Structures are given as structure tokens and as C-alpha cells.
Amino acid sequence: MTAIQLSENWTVSATGGPVPDDIAGRGIPAEVPGSVHLDLLRAGLVAEPFDGANEAEQQWIGDADWRFETTFRWHDDGSERRELVAEGLDTLATVTLNGVEVGRTENQHRSYRFDIGAALVEGENALRVDFAAPVPAAAARSEEHGPRPHVNHHPYNALRKMASGFGWDWGIDVAASGIWRPIRIETWSTARIASVRPLVGVDGGAGVLDAHIAIDRADALTAVPLRVEVEVAGIVRAAEVAAGATGAHVRIEVPDAELWWPRGHGAQALYDVAVRLDGDLDAWRGRVGFRTVRVDVAPDEHGSPFAVHVNDRLIQVRGANWIPDHAFVTEVDRDRCERRIGDATEANMNLLRVWGGGLYESDDFYDLCDEQGVLVWQDFLFACAAYAEEDWLAREVEAEAREAITRLSPHPSLVVWNGNNENIIGYAEWGWRARLGGRTWGEGYYRRLLPGLLAELDPTRFYAPGSPYSFSSYISPNVDTHGTVHVWDVWNAKDYAAYREWTPRFVAEFGFQGPPAWTTLVDAVHDDPLDPYGEQMLVHQKAQEGNLKLERGYGPHLPAPRTIDDWHWATQLNQAAAVRFGIAHFRSLAPYNTGTIVWQLNDGWPVISWAAVDAAERRKPLWHALKAVYEPRLVTVQPRDGVLAAILLNDADEPWSGVVVARRLAFDGAVLAEARVAADVGARGTATVALPAGAVLADDPAGEVLVVEAAGLGRTIHDFAEVVDQALDRDALDVVAAREGSDGAVRVRVTARSYARDVFLLADRGHPTAVVDSGLVSLLPGEAHEFVVSGAPAAVAPEAFASPLVLRHAGDLAG
């Protein structure tokens, strides 16, 4: 096989639509893979799309038709087959080679292979890809086939294109066109490997590999017998492929195979797999990890769980939802992906849910999850909308699902396939049924097509019809005693204290908003003066009544901000406090509750959102809260039977025994009461420790805290009152900042004179490139903590990181 990569000498030009005069008909240098927005930006023809209010000014791009063109040289090498392979065209494309139409596409989420033997010529060749404007096309298809309910303003459900690219309640509207994955010419003879599905299992200590190989023949009339060899762990097995046959199955047992485990449960043993077709005719390489997956949803005395087991061990899920990490997805390379997965693992996460309004992610994403032991829950790409099931859309849905299931089958990290995000509850409870008037809405995909394809192609993974889902057609999809739930009354309607009204078996979505880091925000928003309701600020706040919900959210908990600086700190702090509160409650219900997946880990552009890490890759206070509350060993104080109790969580292989020490302290450090209770927690277990009334009943809630410690397990500080009602000292800290050590880092040492709640260093406000190692540290009188700030140039004075706008704590919000 010979391949010619077509990544050079591309131009793009607008061929129709509301195109500005200075751009119409003009050939613009283009990058492939890429996007027309980025090509226009590099050429200086549009301003930075993320900046200010530029989003609205650039809507014409998604209303325009675009033509990508290149030339390449080809020499006839005598191969029988000549094909154009497009791994990703976004989205409605007509492909022409030397004036001959060779193919059409209408699905961003799949690849295409076109026979170009009749069009390819010796020497110079001209390739053209014409993209129809996606925004009017989606509207036209919706109207033609019958409008169906969807969130947001464009009918993205009428195209197989990344839904969030049309705008979301956290996402910019940049629906456009481009060759977004590699494109190449392939020539080959006799046969080639079309795909490999290396499915794994474990049987009596042996790893089992069932390799299913699909074969393309160059010419069915002259097909010859072939031989397929599969190698794993030094073991080679072969299968003969009869003349004309297009598939082979090879089974290999690997004695005493090392198992692949999720992080925190063991090592991530990975085995290389090599598949060879007739010697060197064609080859495929990949990796597998031997492990089993089971998700228990069987009815029990409480309802029905959602309990993920890997290698027959229950995994307490500590996860986050993953969205495309950049609005222009070709900007996400392996290094960026690795940094983002590092954000997850450093925050003690063991699962990422790839949300259905985004993409089937890059191979890099799944490879990195395999290596890091991060479990993957993968949505099929349906989100918050009703989808037509007629042939015009269904044929593309099936093609993309077949390809995605096959491509992702080697990855041990992938444990759950999910049919859709919120579409079943949309039909059941959001009034869709009446609006649809009998039109199809996607049920056939979720209940028949997708599970059928998994049964055919990869029965080793668990399939859920949707999220949320109760695993019954006769129970609300979002009831907390059954299956998975999404908790959105908190944020949309209720205070975060209402998380305790829920007793969920598994929480697949929940979260609270907050702004990005200060520098990320002001680099994109230039209102003067800066104001939560400024014109550009609102461009970067996509949630319905988002800023009003932020105000309503911090009202019961924090003093009203007096300045924009305080607003930024208060809303970031409240986001962190809300999610920390919710996760601590949900985790305290273990093993009844088996997991939480917070919305969301990451952002795709600078925006006020639910993310823990903003688009400039700065970790928000929420990230630090997640790291703390997702610790495998955790102590939390929760109400039980009308009184406070200590809940001990031990998600580790070693049991814990010791003494739980509960102290009620005044803010000046005086010990008002103390109690000691012996306790034991088994490996991967939990325990509830009743605390004496004298320790947990405050005489002065505004001036006291409860400190509960279990040496080797953790410490928690329980506040008897909200910040707004506490007598916190605005000047609670002694601060010393200095450059020390050979690493050039600034070390900011803070010592508490009185109780200091949620101390945080907004490092980017000291210098835009600075980052800090820790955050949201609560200190008792006399305690000290050292923040280590890296990334700041040597010219920046250490005192910059002791500024009142940089070093914050909850008490400094008081008037």
C-alpha cells in the first residue's frame, strides 16, 4: 500500500452566501486539517472569534459556502485500487478530482473512502472539496423533514455535525466548514485490512483476545486465498481466509496475563497487538488491556443501582463530563489532550464521560486514558434534541456508529456506551411528545439500532439507552432511586443546599457555574467599566439568566460583592463551594451511591461556565475543590437522623483503624469541646461515626467550627454557618512572599491569626503566566500553608502574589 498525504498547498475561497466583498472569490491559504474560521483569522481577514462581541459579527461564516482546493502529483505504481480517504469532512461536501465528482458527504462524525481510479491521472492532479453552508442547510433539512425539538437556537439535530459547534449554554456559535481530519490518496492491490476489532476477556486467569479482521478485496473476481496472522504477548496465531472471503477471526489465549485496572486499583498493563495480512501485504497495530467490565443495574431493595465493576471489583466513580476542548477542535493536539487528562487525574478523577453533543474523540484521547487508567463513558452523538429516524438521517447514524464502535474497540479504558444525553427525559418530561405530533424522535436508535450494533460488533461493553435513565420504561428517567440521574434543579431553580434532597444511586450530570480565571476573562471581555451585565460579558455568558442565577446562588452563602473583583472571586468561590457540598453529600451515601460525574471538566473558549479548567488551561477554584473532595480517602460531616455524624470513606485497598477526633473550636482557636471515638473502615469501605452532642452543637454558630480528624484518613472543617453569617476576620492572615530555592518559584507563606476559610491565591492576577500548586485551604489559628507559585518571570516581585486582589479568602468578602 502506498499513501500520499494531502496536507499541503491548500487554499479556501467563499463561493456563495453573505460574504464580505473583500473576501468573496479570494483564494486564502488554508491549513489541512483545519477550519475556515482559523484560515480567515491567519489571513487577517477576521478578528479573533473569541474576543469581545466578534461572535455575532462572524455569523456569516456559517451561512457561506466554501471551496477548498489543492494540487498534487501522482505516479502510477501499478496498484489495482486508487482511493481518496477522507478521515473527516465537516460536513456537507462535494469532492471533485480533475473535474470529475468522486463523492459526497454529509456527516462530520465518520470517514469516507472514494474510488478515484477513473479520475486520477499521471502527474499533476487537482482536488476540490466544496462545502455547502451548514447553518442554512440545517434549517432547510429541519423544515423539509419536520421540525423536531432541540435546545439552543439552530436545529443542529438535522445534521450529523458536532452539536455544540452551533452554540450551547457554554459554547460559542462557530458552525462552519473544513477538512478537519487527515485526507490522503491510497493505492493498493489484492487486499487490505479494512478494520480490526480486538475484543478482550479474561478466563481463568488467562487473557483472551478475539481479533475480528475485516478485509477489502481489490477485485472480487480475482480474489485469492489469504493468510492473517495475529500476535500478542509474543504469541502468534493465524487464520486462512478463503478466496473471496472478507473476514477472519483469530482467538489467542495469553496465560497469566497482567490485568488492566482503573487508576487507584492497580497497574495499567497494555499489550501490543500486531495483525499482518499475507506477510507484508498490509498490517495493523494497536494495543489492548485484558480486563472485564460489568455494570449492575439489577433491581434491589432500594430500586436499581448503576454500579461499574472492572475485573469483578466495584469502582466508586469520581468523574467529570468532557466536552470538546477547543471550539475549533483541530487546535487540540496530543500535548493539550495530555494536559487536560492530567487535570483530571491530578484531581483524583477515575472516569471521563465524553458528552453526546461533542465528538468521538481523537485516538490520542483514548490512548492517554488507557495509559492513565481513566475510565471512559462514551455517549453516542445525540444530545438534548429529538432526531429523525427516517433513512435520510438513519443511514448516516448507522454508518458513524459502526465506525466508532470498531475504532474504539481496542481501548480498555472504554467501559460504557450511552445512547444519548437527555433525549429520553426530553420526550418523557419536557413536552416533546405533543410537539412531535407522532414524528420519530430517536427511540429506535436508542432501543434497537445502537444496542443491536454493539451486540454485533462489541458485546464486551455495557450499553445504557440514555442518561439520565432508570433502566425501566415505566419509571421516570430521572428518579434518584434508579440508575443514573442529572441534578439540575440546583443551579436552575434551587440553592445548592438542595443537593441533600437527592439520594441518587449514580449522578451522571450536575454542576454550578462560575467565571474563568481573571486573566482569561479580561483577555476576551473589554467592557469599560467591567460589569457582570456588560455587553461583551453577556456574550461570554451563554446560560439563560446565567448571571441572575449566579447572584441567586451566592445570596444565601456570601456577602453581596461590592466590586467587580469581589464579584469574580465570590462567584468562583461559590461555584467551588456548591460542587464540593454536593459531591461530599453524594459520596457520603456510598455504597448506595456508586459515583458522581460533575459537569464539566473543561471549556472550549473563554466563557462563564461550569468548567473546572478554563479555556486558557487555568485551573479555577472549582478544580481545587474537586481535588480535595475526590480524595480516595475522605472524612466528611453530614446530617444523619437529625444530628451531625462523621462519614469515613476509604476507597483504598488497605483497611483503616484509628480514632476520630472531633473538636469544636472558636475562631480564635479556643477548644470548646472535644470528643474521641474509635472507628474502623474496611478496604474500599465506608463507616458512619456518631459524634457526641457536645461536640456538634454550637453555642455560637457565627464564631465556631467543628474540626473532625482521622489520622491517615483525612480532616474536614465543618462550618456551623454560611460565610455571610460568620464573624470572619477580614485580616486573618500573616503573609510572607519570597523567591526561594533553585526553581525560581515564589513561595507565599500564610499563617492564620484566626480561622481563615477557603484561602486561595489567584496566581494569574499576580502575573498572567503564573500558576499555583494548591488552593481553597482552610486554616485554624496558628496553622500555616505555603503556596508555591511557578511560571512568573524573575522580574515580577514576590510581593505581587501577596496583593489583596491575588491572595483571597472567604472572610475578605465581608463589608
Q: Among residues of the chain, what percentage have pLDDT more than 70?
A: 100
The confidence score (pLDDT) of residue 741 equals 80
Region 60-85 average pLDDT? 97
pLDDT higher than 80, residue 370: yes
Confidence of residue 221 (pLDDT cuts 50, 70, 90): confident
The confidence score (pLDDT) of residue 743 equals 86
Task: Verify cis geometry, omega within 30 degrees of 0, for the bond prior to 33.
Answer: yes
Structural domain boundaries in the chain = 2-187, 190-288, 297-512+574-607, 633-725, 733-813
CA pair distance 520, 813, nearest whole angstrom: 22
pLDDT digits (tens, 9 = 90+) for 440-467: 999 999 999 999 999 999 999 999 999 9
CATH fold of 190-288 reads Immunoglobulin-like (2.60.40)
pLDDT higher than 90, residue 742: no
Q: What is the homologous superfamily of the domain 297-512+574-607 according to CATH?
A: Glycosidases (3.20.20.80)
Confidence of residue 619 (pLDDT cuts 50, 70, 90): very high
The confidence score (pLDDT) of residue 220 equals 82
pLDDT higher than 90, residue 13: yes
CATH fold of 633-725 reads Immunoglobulin-like (2.60.40)
CATH no. for 733-813: 2.60.40.10
Backbone phi and psi for residue 514, each to the nearest 5 degrees, phi listed first: -165, 160
Region 272-300 average pLDDT? 97
C-alpha cell of 463?
Answer: 450499553
pLDDT digits (tens, 9 = 90+) for 645-704: 999 999 999 999 999 999 999 999 999 999 999 999 999 999 999 999 999 999 999 999
The confidence score (pLDDT) of residue 686 equals 98
pLDDT higher than 80, residue 815: no
Pick left, alpha or beta for residue 330 (phi over 0 → left; psi -120 to 50 → alpha; otherwise beta). Answer: alpha
pLDDT digits (tens, 9 = 90+) for 395-440: 999 999 999 999 999 999 999 999 999 999 999 999 999 999 999 9
pLDDT digits (tens, 9 = 90+) for 14-53: 999 999 999 998 999 999 999 999 999 999 999 999 999 9
CB 422 within 8 A of CB 384: yes
The confidence score (pLDDT) of residue 225 equals 96
C-alpha cell of 298?
Answer: 439489577
CB 310 within 8 A of CB 261: yes
pLDDT higher than 90, residue 1: no
Backbone phi and psi for residue 798, each to the nearest 5 degrees, phi listed first: -55, -30
CB 377 within 8 A of CB 339: no
The confidence score (pLDDT) of residue 222 equals 85
CATH no. for 2-187: 2.60.120.260
Domain 190-288 identical in fold to domain 633-725: yes
Residue-wise DSSP of 593-617: S-EEEES-S--SSS-SBS-SB-TTS
DSSP bridge pairs for 777? 759
User: For residues 347, 352, 357 and 360, what is the CA-based torsion angle, rounded to 10 degrees?
Assistant: 130
Confidence of residue 481 (pLDDT cuts 50, 70, 90): very high
